[in-house]
Amino acid sequence: MSKTTVSTQKAPAAIGPYSQAVKLGDFVFTSGQIPIDPASGDIVPGGVEAQARQALHNLEEVLKAAGASSATVLKTTLFIKNMDDFAHVNDVYAGFFKSEPPARSCVEVARLPKDVLVEIEAIAFIPRS
């Protein structure tokens, strides 16, 4: 079994020496997605809810490029700058994972790339066609 990298222009390009995601067998492991608008390259304005929404949108595009989707996500990790934003991020997250949400960890961190407020990564199953 060999690993392959995943790349899509519908999500922000990696800002370092890493891939947007890596596929191995029936699984995809995404890198953390931050709230950058892939068209402009800018961090989306509007606070933590807008940033969580964009990070999840970017995550969805990477998953699609890998042959997966939000419905096949098994585990996510959320990194948030302020745990006081937990409820706001949860509201956005609940709208993205509407039924059978994946397992999840959420941790508060001192700082994220580009000083964003949230970063989200996932592990998903790739259904066989």
Q: Which active-site residues does the annotation give?
A: 106
**Domain layout of the chain by residue ranges:** 3-125
d(CA 59, CA 10): 10
d(CA 118, CA 12): 15
- The yes or no reply on domain 3-125 and CATH 2.60.40.10 is no
**CB-neighbour burial class of residue 55 (10 A; exposed 0-12, middle 13-18, buried 19+):** buried
- Chain segment 39-94, per-residue pLDDT in tens: 999 999 999 999 999 999 999 999 999 999 999 999 999 999 999 999 999 999 99
Strand order of the β-sheet with 73-80 is: 3-6, 21-24, 27-30, 118-125, 73-80, 103-108
Judge whether residue 110 has pLDDT over 80.
Answer: yes
Q: What percent of the chain has pLDDT over 70?
A: 100
